[in-house]
Structure 1
Amino acid sequence: MPGVQEVVEMAERGLNRSDALYLLREADVFTLAKAAEELTRKYYGGVVTFVNNVVINYSNVCVAKCPICAFYRLPGHGEGYVRKPGEVAAMVERFAKERGVTELHINGGFNPFLTPEYFDELFREVKRRVPRVAIKGPTMAEVDYYAKLWRVSRREVLSRWKETGLDAISGGGAEIFAEEVRKVVAPHKISGEEWVEIAELAHKMGIPSNATMLYGHVEKEEHVVDHIFRVKELQERTGGLLLFIPVKFNPENTELKARGVVVRPAPSTYDVKVVAIARLILGDKLKVAAYWLSVGKKLASTLLLAGANDLVGTMYNEAVLTSAGARHSASVEELAEIAREVGKTPALRDTFHRVLAYL
């Protein structure tokens, strides 16, 4: 079994898929964590970043019917909603004034009733009311859905959104890229290859994005490794990724739990190994997040000693993960304390990972 220094040396030489799969399956969790922490300190120092942001879903109406999702409502459901552009802008303005948010994280779903003009008005109204707030929103999957719905190209959707105020794209909808997994967890979404294609197109158009990976459901270790390598290869081609966010699946209120496919969250040791292997594969090419909203604030601190160096954001008003049982929102000071607990220096950043203040 390799020791910490051997794992560090392997990572510095550059892991291949078989090396990474071996480490994820066989290496001791503490060895992986220590090696990942050593690399993180070497490449990024002891700083942990996050953004002060608000999450607003423009709609919960979605026809994708993903069995991993507890948030969506089908068209005609009594709990379905579409927020008016002015309502969204007013919410952002309030959070900007009261809590100092610098980013709007906005997405929804596959709503067949929305028009291009709806998004035009939405983004423009937010920029009119709060011009300094960056808009990070809809996912690659939404880009594809609305391109097909409106019978235009993906490029046209991205170009129009950028022109009306979109600054960056959120990393959602990536799930796990492997098709045998997507058939189970997101059968009506774009393929993993299409997600990467749209991300690459956006990056070439000057629209950066995050990348996520939803783990802890039906995937195997080889799927995790393949997903992270595809993220790494995308970053090597475009340099347009801002952050890699491993998102832990919570089965509460989902179809997968109702069917008995996934009955409980993955163990915390798996969370540590996933984050650590992400750092060992990605090296200095991309920051790795400890997504406190999906793992909890206590475990997030541990992940900051296992390869992670970003806490994503305050996530005020988050509703998607919350609908599956996550605890929503944290203040700037709460996130800073998560970093301080493990001897790291917290830093408030903007959407584009420019440090605004050390805390």
Structure 2
Amino acid sequence: MPAVPEVLEMAERGLDRSDAVFLMKEADVFTLAKVADELTRKYFGDVVTFVNNVVINYSNICVAKCPICAFYRLPGHKEGYLRSPEEVAAMVEFFHRQYGVTELHINGGFNPFIAPEYFDELFRAVKKRAPHITIKGPTMAEVDYYARLWKTSWREVLSRWKEAGLDAISGGGAEIFAEEVRRIISPHKISGEEWVKIAEVAHEMGIPSNATMLYGHVERVEHVVDHLFRIKELQERTGGLMLFIPVKFNPLNTELAARGVVARPAPSTYDVKVVAIARLILKDRLKVGAYWLSVGKKLASTLLLSGANDLVGTMYNEAVLTSAGAQHNATAEELAAIAREAGRRPALRDTFHRILSYL
């Protein structure tokens, strides 16, 4: 079993895929966490950041039917909805005034009834009601779906959205890039290669993005490592990624659980290993998120000692992970307390990782 000095030397030299797979399989979880923490403090210091944001889903109607999702409703379902642009704008204005949010994180499903003008009106309505709000979203998968629905290109969709007020793209829809896994968990979404290509187009257009990885379902260690290297290589090509967010899969209320494919969430030791290996691979290229919404607030503090250095956001009004049993929102002070518990200095940031204030 490799010891801390050996793993640290490997990481500083630069891991290749086989090194990373070996460490995920053979290294002790505490060793990986300690090395990842050392690298995080070396490259980023002791500051842990997060944004004060609201999450609004413009629609839950989706034809993708992903077996990992507990949120979507098919067209015609009595619980399906499509929010009007004014409704979304009013919600953003409320959360801005009530809670001081600076970011709107907006996603939805693959809704076949949405016309191109809908997003024009939505983004403009938000900017009119709350001019200083940063709009982040939708996902690469939504860019592709609506480009195909409207018979246009990724670039045209992104250009139109940017002109209407979109500031950044959220990192969702990445899932796990390996096709053998995607065929099981999201068979009707874009491929991993397409996700990366859309990100490259967005970055080239001056639209930065996050990147996610959904783990803890049917993937193997090799798939996690491959995903992380593709994220690293994308960042080295474009520099357009702002944050890497590992998202833990919760099978509650999902088709994968109903079919008996995934019975329970992955153990917390696996969460630590995933975050730690992300730091060892990404090194100083990107911040790594401790996504408290998917792992819980207690474990998030541990992940801040295992390679993570961002708590993502307050996530007011989040509904997608919540539909699979996640906790709801957190206040800025709650997230600051998580950071302090790990001996870190909490800081409120904006979407683009500029620090607004230390807490």
TM over 0.5, shorter chain: yes
The CA RMSD over aligned residues, in Å, is 0.4
Q: Does 1:147 align with 2:147?
A: yes
Residue deviations 1:291-347 (CA, integer Å, cap 9, x gap): 000000000000000000000000000000000000110000000000000100000
* Number of the residue aligned with 1:262: 262
Instruction: Indicate whether 1:119 and 2:119 are aligned.
Output: yes
2:43 maps to which residue?
A: 43
1:2 to partner: Cα distance: 1.6
SS of the aligned residue for 2:263 comes to coil
Matched residue SS, 1:169: coil
In 2, distance between residues paired with 1:336 and 1:281? 27
> Deviation string for 1:236-292 (max 9, x for gaps)?
000000000000000000000000000100000000000000000000000000000
Aligned partner of 2:295 in structure 1 is: 295
Q: Secondary structure at the match of 1:177?
A: coil
1:81-92 alignment to 2 at 5 Å? 81-92=81-92
Q: Which residue of 2 aligns with 1:75?
A: 75
Is the aligned partner of 1:101 residue 2:101?
yes
Matched with 1:188 is: 188
Aligned mates of 1:199, 1:23 — CA distance in 2: 29
- Aligned equivalent of 2:3: 3
Q: Which residue of 2 aligns with 1:328?
A: 328
1:190 aligned counterpart, secondary structure: coil
CA distance in 1, matches of 2:311, 2:200: 25
What is the letter of the counterpart of residue 292 of structure 1? W
- Residue 120 of structure 1, CA deviation: 0.2
How many residue pairs align between the two structures?
359
Q: Which residue of 1 aligns with 2:30?
A: 30
Please state how far the C-alpha of 1:7 moved relative to its aligned partner. Answer: 1.1
Q: Find the residue that maps to 1:11 and give its secondary structure.
A: helix
Q: Distance in 2 between matches of 1:167 and 1:122?
A: 13
Q: Distance in 1 between matches of 2:346 and 2:228?
A: 26
Q: Deviations over 1:177-208 (max 9, x none)?
A: 00000000000000000000000110000000
Hey, what does 2:351 align to over in structure 1?
Answer: 351
Q: Secondary structure at 1:348's aligned position in 2?
A: strand
State the alpha-carbon separation in 1 of the partners of residues 328 and 182 from structure 2: 26
1:57 aligns with 2:45: no
Specify the code of the residue in structure 1 equivalent to 2:334.
E
Segments of structure 2 that go 5 or more residues without pairing to the other structure are none
Q: 1:212 and 2:180 equivalent?
A: no
CA distance in 2, matches of 1:243, 1:345: 18
Gaps of 5+ in 1: none
Superposed, which structure 2 residues align to 1:230-309 within 5 Å? 230-309=230-309
Q: Which residue identity is paired with 1:49?
A: T
Once the 2 structures are TM-superposed, how far is the Cα of residue 9 of structure 1 from its aligned partner? 1.4
CA distance in 1, matches of 2:178, 2:205: 26
One-letter amino acid of the structure 2 residue matched with residue 40 of structure 1: T
Q: Which residue of 2 aligns with 1:128?
A: 128
Superposed displacement of residue 23, structure 1: 0.3
Q: Is the 8 A contact 2:2 2:26 kept in 1?
A: no
Question: What is the CA–CA distance in structure 1 between the aligned matches of 2:180 and 2:82, rounded to whole Å?
Answer: 33
> For the residues of structure 2 that align with 1:109 and 1:78, how far apart are their CA atoms?
16
State the Cα deviation string for residues 45-96 of structure 1 (Å, max 9, x = none): 0000000000000000000000000000000000000000000000000000
Confirm or deny that 1:229 pairs with 2:208.
Answer: no
One-letter amino acid of the structure 2 residue matched with residue 122 of structure 1: L
- C-alpha contact 2:248 2:294 (8 A) present in aligned 1: yes
**Distance across 1 between alignment mates of 2:112 and 2:196:** 24
Q: Give the Cα–Cα distance (whole angstroms) in 2 for the partners of residues 291 and 96 of structure 1.
A: 22
Residue identity opposite 2:89 in structure 1: A
Q: Deviations over 1:5-41 (max 9, x none)?
A: 2211111111000000000111000000000000000
Report the Cα offset of residue 233 of structure 1. Answer: 0.1
Q: For residue 201 of structure 1, what is the aligned residue in structure 2?
A: 201
Alpha-carbon separation, structure 2, partners of 1:77 and 1:130: 32
Runs in 1 of length 4+ with deviation above 4 angstroms? Answer: none
Q: Contact between 2:54 and 2:318, CA under 8 Å: does it hold in 1? A: yes
1 CA distance for matches of 2:62 and 2:289?
27
CA distances 1:148-175 after superposition (whole Å, capped 9, x unpaired): 0000011000000000000000000000
Give the conservation status (yes or no) of the 8 Å contact 2:59–2:80: yes
Contact 2:93 2:130 in 1 (8 A): yes
